[in-house]
């Protein structure tokens, strides 16, 4: 750990884990689970007069990568923040692993945070900490008894798991490329062996090859670790390549959720324009080209890798 105190993240004000010293937060709890680790019912969110969500409902299936799409400003990030307890909704119920997140009176009451990992849009890495130290932050918080050696070892393991060379653990965020930063953020999101992963536009700003490699990694990790993934994206290639289902936000709620062929059967104008536009056709034909070249296998994610 650097002697410097961590400064707030350089590019996002949010943290994917609490920084309070609540000892209870580390206590493992047996919580009821079912086939929907996330269940949202009748959600309403507003900022002043601006209503973002109105009567929004959505269920996320265990083990799926759910793509979340919608026009700019439709409230995708606000929805994610609501699920992880950073945005208190006006109305509605959000259950994560069967626990009503909205019923928690304060942050420390949300004791299931260790079961999810978050990669915010900008990565939100501590700029004064190395990548390895960034990964260690949530580990130290939830497992303060871990030795420095073990922390180092776990952090290196997560760094490599995220597709970075081991040496990257000792680098500072400013020494990394954009793609490496995303992977470093992913390593930190995976620090606590989460069951749920929240990703806000993870491939934004990456070149197409870097984005495809990130997609491939994400699909592999999801399948290997049995993750459930809530993935906000504008990237049509990502949607076609790795998402099991896609939820569409429009008109203040989820207007449709399903596989892309199922979405195409709806007559919602935004869905038709989005999935039938020239960029969508290009993404689809790229996927088909990969399939013809023998890259595709039975899982959706392998096609576009």
Ligand X SMILES: Nc1ncnc2c1ncn2[C@@H]1O[C@H](COP(=O)(O)OP(=O)(O)OP(=O)(O)O)[C@@H](O)[C@H]1O
Interacting residues with ligand X (CB under 6 A): 47, 52, 70, 72-78
Task: Tell me the C-alpha distance between 245 and 257, whole Å.
Answer: 7
Phi/psi of residue 95, nearest 5 degrees: -105, 130
Least distance CB 242 / ligand X (angstroms): 19
Task: Tell me the C-alpha distance between 271 and 203, whole Å.
Answer: 21
Least distance CB 76 / ligand X (angstroms): 4
Which CB sits closer to ligand X, 69 or 129?
69
Which CB sits closer to ligand X, 92 or 132?
92
Task: Tell me the C-alpha distance between 235 and 256, whole Å.
Answer: 18
Least distance CB 62 / ligand X (angstroms): 24
Least distance CB 182 / ligand X (angstroms): 16
Which CB sits closer to ligand X, 75 or 85?
75
Query: How far apart, in Å, do the first and last CA atoms of the chain sit?
Result: 35
Which CB sits closer to ligand X, 81 or 302?
81
Least distance CB 143 / ligand X (angstroms): 32
Residues in the chain: 305
Least distance CB 107 / ligand X (angstroms): 16
Q: Collapse the DSSP code of 53 into the 3-class scheme (helix H, G, I; strand E, B; otherwise coil) and give the result.
A: strand
Which CB sits closer to ligand X, 45 or 128?
45
Which CB sits closer to ligand X, 183 or 252?
252
Task: Tell me the C-alpha distance between 156 and 179, whole Å.
Answer: 18
Q: How far apart, in Å, are the Cα atoms of 301 and each of 10, 114, 130, 181, 239? A: 32, 26, 31, 22, 9
Least distance CB 26 / ligand X (angstroms): 29
Which CB sits closer to ligand X, 47 or 261?
47
Supply the DSSP string of 186-218, one letter for each residue.
Answer: HHHHTTT--SEEEEESTTTT--HHHHHHHHHHH
CA atoms within 13 A on the CB side of 25: 23
Which CB sits closer to ligand X, 3 or 49?
49
Q: What is the 3-state secondary structure (H, E, C) of 78-95?
A: HHHHHHCCCCCCCEEEEE
Q: How far apart, in Å, are the Cα atoms of 268 and each of 59, 168, 191, 251, 255? A: 20, 45, 39, 11, 8
Least distance CB 80 / ligand X (angstroms): 8
């Amino acid at each position: 750990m650097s002697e410097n105190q961590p400064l707030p993240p350089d590019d996002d004000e949010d943290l994917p884990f609490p920084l309070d010293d609540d000892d209870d937060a580390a206590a493992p709890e047996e919580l009821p689970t079912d086939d929907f680790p996330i269940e949202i019912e009748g959600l309403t969110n507003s900022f002043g007069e601006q209503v973002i969500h109105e009567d929004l409902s959505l269920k996320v299936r265990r083990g799926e990568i759910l793509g979340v799409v919608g026009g700019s400003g439709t409230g995708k990030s606000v929805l994610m923040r609501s699920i992880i307890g950073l945005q208190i909704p006006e109305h509605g119920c959000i259950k994560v692993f069967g626990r009503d997140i909205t019923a928690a009176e304060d942050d420390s009451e949300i004791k299931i945070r260790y079961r999810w990992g978050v990669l915010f849009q900008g990565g939100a890495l501590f700029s004064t900490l190395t990548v390895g130290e960034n990964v260690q932050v949530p580990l130290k918080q939830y497992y303060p008894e871990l030795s420095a050696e073990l922390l180092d070892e776990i952090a290196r393991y997560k760094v490599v798991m995220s597709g970075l060379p081991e040496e990257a653990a000792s680098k500072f965020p400013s020494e990394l490329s954009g793609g490496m930063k995303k992977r470093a953020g992913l390593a930190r999101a995976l620090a606590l062996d989460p069951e749920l992963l929240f990703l806000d536009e993870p491939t934004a700003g990456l070149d197409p090859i870097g984005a495809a490699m990130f997609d491939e990694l994400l699909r592999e990790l999801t399948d290997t670790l049995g993750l459930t993934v809530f993935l906000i994206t504008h990237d049509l290639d990502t949607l076609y390549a790795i998402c099991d289902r896609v939820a569409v936000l429009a008109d203040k709620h989820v207007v449709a959720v399903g596989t892309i062929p199922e979405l195409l059967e709806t007559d919602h104008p935004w869905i038709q324009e989005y999935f039938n536009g020239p960029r969508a056709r290009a993404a689809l034909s790229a996927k088909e080209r990969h399939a013809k070249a023998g890259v595709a296998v039975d899982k959706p994610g392998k096609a576009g890798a």
